[in-house]
Amino acid sequence: MSGLDRRLKYTALSRVRSLQDLYIDGSFEPPRRTNISNDISHKEMARLREHHPYQFKLTFPEFNANHIQVIFHNIRSVEKYLPYVKSDFNYCYCNIILLVETRTKPSSTLELPDFEILSRIDGVRDSYYSYGSLVYVKKNLKPFVNVFHEVHHFGKDGKGIICVDIVGLNVQYKYANIAKIVVYKSPKCRIDVFLDLLQDAVIKSKIQLQSVYCKKYPGGEKVVPFLWQRSEGH
């Protein structure tokens, strides 16, 4: 370590993963403490704290209070990422948050400030399997949102465990009359099984599907997001 300045010593020691077989060869002289008053990085951090010339200017579309804002996310573990959701403007300024592949257990605690859970599908086993769904609704909007369809299809076939979660929501607020269908299909579930379950939700919601199609990926079939619209008179 002799001949190395403070930065190089820090870099070398930061690569150490264990104290085993780590020893000092020869005498060790601690490096001189950094003179903060002359350190360039400290000066720059102090300047930014005091003057902060770069203001956060990004306008989120969720700030528009005249529309119902909905966000959908395949979150892949809501317990792991819930702290990030709580601190993210994209989520907190939405009216409805739709999450799939939540990987929750019945014992999971999933409170989100200013939101209420309208629909929750946990795993059927007391373990973190890669399925499940959650629907959060802002408390002031909850009286105007109802769940018209909810299904959790879980089973096994020759390919392994299969799962389909479908939740249908109807929102009637001011001039809005919206239907939302939240879907999750595990990769090993056959597409014909998924489409049969989806069709039930579509019929109940009185939505006209414009297109539903699948695309082949290396891991198997995948449902590509589809478009829908209300049928006339609804």
Is the confidence at residue 189, as pLDDT, over 80?
yes
Beta bridge partners of 99: 73, 134
Position 26 confidence tier, pLDDT thresholds 50, 70, 90: confident
Position 211 confidence tier, pLDDT thresholds 50, 70, 90: very low
pLDDT, position 213 = 45
Neighbour-count burial of 195, counting CB atoms closer than 10 A to its CB (0-12 exposed, 13-18 middle, 19+ buried) = middle
pLDDT digits (tens, 9 = 90+) for 117-140: 999 988 766 555 667 889 999 999
Is the confidence at residue 193, as pLDDT, over 80?
yes
User: Taking the mean position of all CA atoms in its chain, how far away is CA 186?
Assistant: 17
Distances (CA, A) of 175 to 14, 90, 204, 234: 59, 23, 21, 12
pLDDT, position 223 = 47
Q: Which amino acid is at 160?
A: G
Distances (CA, A) of 57 to 50, 53, 54, 60, 194: 19, 12, 9, 9, 43
Return all residues near 133 (Cβ < 8 A) that are at least 6 apart: 98, 99, 100, 101, 102, 119, 120, 121, 165, 167, 182, 184
- Residue pair 171/145 in contact (Cβ under 8 Å)? The answer is yes
pLDDT digits (tens, 9 = 90+) for 138-156: 999 999 999 988 888 887 7
Instruction: Report which of residues 173 and 29 the model is more confident about.
Output: 173
Instruction: Report which of residues 125 and 234 the model is more confident about.
Output: 125
Smallest CA-to-CA distance from 23 within 8, 11, 13 is with: 13
Neighbours of 37 (CB within 10 A): 7
Is the confidence at residue 173, as pLDDT, over 50?
yes
Burial 121-142 (b: 16+ CB within 10 A, else e): bbbeeeebbbbbbbbbbbeebe
pLDDT, position 224 = 44
Smallest CA-to-CA distance from 199 within 152, 133, 207 is with: 207
Distances (CA, A) of 166 to 57, 65, 98, 151, 232: 37, 28, 11, 5, 24
Is the confidence at residue 161, as pLDDT, over 60?
yes
pLDDT, position 97 = 92
Beta-sheet pairing, 115-121 with 133-138: antiparallel
Neighbours of 44 (CB within 10 A): 10
